[in-house]
Amino acid sequence: MTTTYEFWLAGRRASGDADFEVHNSWDGRLVGKVSIPTEAQVEEALDAAVAALPVFAATPAHQRAAALDHVAKRLTERTEELAQLVSAENGKPIKWARGEIGRAVSVFRWASEEARRTNGETMRLDTDPGGVGRFAVVRRFPRGVVLGIAPFNFPLNLVAHKVAPAIAVGAPIILKPAPSTPLSAMVLGEILAETDLPVGSWSILTVPNDRMPALVQDERLPVISFTGSDKVGYQIMDSVPRKHCTLELGGNAAAVVLADWSSEADLDWAATRIAMFANYQGGQSCISVQRVIADASVYDALAEKVVAKVRAQVTGDPGDDATDVGPLIDENAAKRVESWVEDAVAKGAKVLTGGTREGATYAPTVLADLPGDAILAKAEVFGPVLSLHRVDGVDEAFAAVNDSAFGLQAGVFTHDLQTAFRAHRELEVGGVIIGDAPSYRADQMPYGGVKDSGVGREGVKYAMDDYTVEKVMVLTGLDL
């Protein structure tokens, strides 16, 4: 029997007058149905959030931290259930789905810890004669109600990155999960409903995409946190120039392998990590390896290893523990990847492995000799495709990384400390991973990009800063 999921309106279950279906992209089976809120119910959620703002902002830290601890505990207890659900709605291999639940647990745990230790700042002002007897207290307060818009590729963990920081700072949040993957967010709502968070402090609304412009522009939502495509993200920002927007957008991440990374063990490690993280979510990750930039001295040996390890990636049923690469989110996504590879080949690229599609599944693919005018050379493929590029020296390698409209993360395989610091300084990206692929992310670290990869930072503490604003209180007439 198919489950019909209700949405969450001001912390309680609710149903609208219509629903939509969520299908598994591997076998097409119906995974669940989800109710759609009416316009009146969305209004009710917004009114409740606005009313909750002063109450939630004033809750003691221990209450918010306890709620976050509870969510982390319950996610841990329900790991396998949630992993199976994420795999079913997203097509993600079950082993990666389990990892996603573990990361979501960490996000709520970090948020609990940050809620307890966020103390503000104090400063004496008698550093100048006019400040004698004055002392300042600087604290952060919510900017207002947050609109969190989450993508399909990490349907629980990227929801967690919206919700957990909001709870930590006492900012009410209206969460809009991706329409293709809303089910795990609905289960998160079950867990949040077990806490004693104030009524109206959170809602999870399955609003269709075509109704989102009105919600984005609603003045009651002064903060927008969006993860998704650069096109949609900048459309949002342009439509609300006076709102505070955090945009975590696309990338075409590069893995750089330099001349000093040349031993057999070094190249095995680089090839293993590149092959895994070009394909681990079907390539549907903003920091999935898309470009491999290798020094000419290691290029041939590395290319051979990368191709072999990509061929070894097991593609198949995402419910099978042995599967490394599952389907894309739907068949249209796979057809788009297929068309981009065909465009590259027509312009001179060589397919070293892969290059085939079956339904929503696209085979892990390696290209060489990718011309600069191919779509794949400039855009984010969001699929299991990587290209190999030969360069001479560090200067050329770093210039190749920066020759992109995007700048999210880069990986640099080098043993040289000076080169590592140079990469940190010169590469036009939000994060540089030394000795590994660009796809590493710890959920407490600042995460975000430059250029077309967005503005602002995720990572619990940094998202808390984005959701809040400093306010200063000056005490006068004190004997310091």
DSSP 436-461: S-TT---TTS-B--EETTEES-BSHH
413, 266 contact by CB (below 8 A): yes
286, 250 contact by CB (below 8 A): yes
What does DSSP assign to residue 8? E
Instruction: Specify the amino acid at residue 31.
Output: V
Active-site residue, 248 included: yes
Catalytic residue among 6, 100, 114, 286: 286
220, 145 contact by CB (below 8 A): yes
Q: Which helix (H) or strand (E) holds 264?
A: helix 264-279
Active-site residue, 219 included: no
Instruction: Specify the amino acid at residue 471.
Output: K
Dihedral Cα 276, 287, 91, 68, nearest 10 deg? 110
88, 28 contact by CB (below 8 A): no
Give the separation between CA 429 and CA 119, rounded to whole angstroms: 31
Nearest to 448 by CA among 412, 419, 406: 406
CA 294 to chain centroid: 27
What does DSSP assign to residue 221? -
Give the separation between CA 301 and CA 390, rounded to whole angstroms: 12
443, 289 contact by CB (below 8 A): no
Q: At what angle do helices 393-402 and 417-426 cross, to 10 degrees?
A: 30
Catalytic residue among 100, 248, 380, 458: 248
Give the separation between CA 350 and CA 469, rounded to whole angstroms: 51
255, 411 contact by CB (below 8 A): yes
Which active-site residues does the annotation give?
Answer: 248, 286
